[in-house]
Amino acid sequence: MDKLIRILIVDDHPVVRNGLVGMLSGRPEFEIAGEASHGEEAVERCTRLSPQVVLMDLRMPGMDGVEAIRRICAQQPDVHVLVLTTYDTDADILRAIEAGATGYILKDAPREELYRAILATAQGQTYLTPSVATRLMDQLRAPTEAALSPREVEVLDWVAKGASNKQIARHLHLSEATIKSHLLHIFAKLGVNDRTQAVTLAVQKGYIEL
């Protein structure tokens, strides 16, 4: 990417924020736009600092991460939220994605995966850490592998054409949040954690053609 990716880090633990600042500021493609320690502060600073990506913890005092995600996405649809948390329960994952989060990654993920997740999120691409994708796959799968619905195939076909979530939403006359939800189910059903893997496997299984 030509421009630096501006990142807002949201976590109620100063040690975590300091660690992330140190890790990410050493990368040439990233710029730390600011920090926030709770949801209210995240919403305010997101409006003032205009980051491209918000790294969002979920469980914080006061306004939690899910409500902050909901408000940020409503007020600034061009800002993408990547959840960075220690919690991987089905309820946490679904609430965050339904609120508008673009991706979901755990704090124990390798730093290279975090870098990939941020880059994908900055481009509006849904990213799920592998363990999260596996949990959703287990939840959605029946005794036999769940098939993609016609709508999911339609969404994936646009993904294969290189369309962003916003472009797909416009083509299909759906909200961007609905597209994210479809992608979440696609990833879970196929057992993948990013768009490239989803397209590759969908081609192999005959759902779409390139």
pLDDT one-digit tens code per residue, 62-76: 999 999 999 999 999
* CA–CA gap between residue 73 and residue 69 (Å, rounded): 6
Share of the chain above pLDDT 70, in %: 93
Q: Using the predicted structure, report yes or no on whether residue 197 has a pLDDT greater than 60.
A: yes
Bridge partners for 81 per DSSP:
54
Q: What residue numbers bound the domain in which 109 lies?
A: 5-124
- Range 201-207 average pLDDT: 88
The pLDDT of residue 2 is 59
pLDDT at 133 over 90: no
* Residue 78 and residue 99 share a domain: yes
Asked if the model's pLDDT at residue 22 lies above 70, the reply is yes
* DSSP string for 95-143: HHHHHT-SEEEETTS-HHHHHHHHHHHHTT--EE-HHHHHHHHHHH--S
- Is 209 domain-assigned? no
Pair (17, 67) in one structural domain: yes
pLDDT for 141 beyond 60: no
Q: What is the pLDDT of residues 86-128, one digit of tens each?
A: 877 767 887 888 889 999 999 999 999 999 999 999 998 989 9
Of 89, 124, 159, the domain-final residue: 124
How wide is the angle at C-alpha 77 spanned by C-alphas 73 and 83, nearest 5°? 45
Report the CATH number that the domain containing residue 15 is assigned in CATH.
3.40.50.2300
Of 75, 100, 124, the last residue of a domain is: 124
With respect to residue 43, please indicate whether it lies within any of the assigned structural domains: yes
Q: Give CA separation, 100 vs 78, 97, 124, 141, 146, in Å.
A: 11, 5, 11, 24, 24
Residue 89, pLDDT score = 75
**Has residue 131 been placed in a domain?**
no
How many domains does one find in the chain? Answer: 2
Does residue 18 share a domain with residue 116?
yes
Q: Tell the residue number behind the tokens 């799920």, with chain if given.
A: 128
Model pTM score? 0.70
Distances (CA, A) of 188 to 58, 148, 173: 21, 10, 24
Domain boundary among 73, 103, 124: 124
Per the model's pLDDT, the better-predicted residue between 61 and 6 turns out to be 6
Provide the pLDDT for residue 143.
44
